[in-house]
Amino acid sequence: MYGNTAHNIYAQNNVGIESPHKLIEMLYEGVLRFNAQAKKALKDGNIEKRVYWINRSIAVITELISVLDMKGGNVAHYLQGLYNYEIQLLNEANAKKDESKLDEVSNVFKGLLEAWRETTNVAN
């Protein structure tokens, strides 16, 4: 449904991305930024912006799913399930106006971002 929306957004704004590792980091950061905006819109009672920002987060996560190398082993399969669950939580947050579900998704992506930075810094 969202295809390469997230990648296209980042590609337009960051023509000189150094590496695929940096792109993944930026996508994780994007989810965190968009969730923060969605949370603000939720608190402000702004339905249009809440839906917009949650949909942006979902688009980024969908992009993350699309770039998984499923031949890469168990980690890719685990991440696929995790990402799909996070999309489910975002949909519930939107439908139920549930700030705690947004926080849960953000906490997961903070952990993923930290782990990603640690592993890519070790690899470089």
Say what percent of the chain tops pLDDT 70.
Answer: 83
Residue-level pLDDT at 121: 83
The overall average pLDDT reported for the chain is 89
pTM for the whole structure: 0.84
CATH architecture of 5-123: Up-down Bundle (1.20)
* DSSP for 24-93, written as a single string: HHHHHHHHHHHHHHHHHHHHHT-HHHHHHHHHHHHHHHHHHHHT--GGG-HHHHHHHHHHHHHHHHHHHH
pLDDT tens across 32-74, in order? 999 999 999 999 999 999 999 999 999 999 999 999 999 988 9
Residue ranges covered by each domain of the chain = 5-123
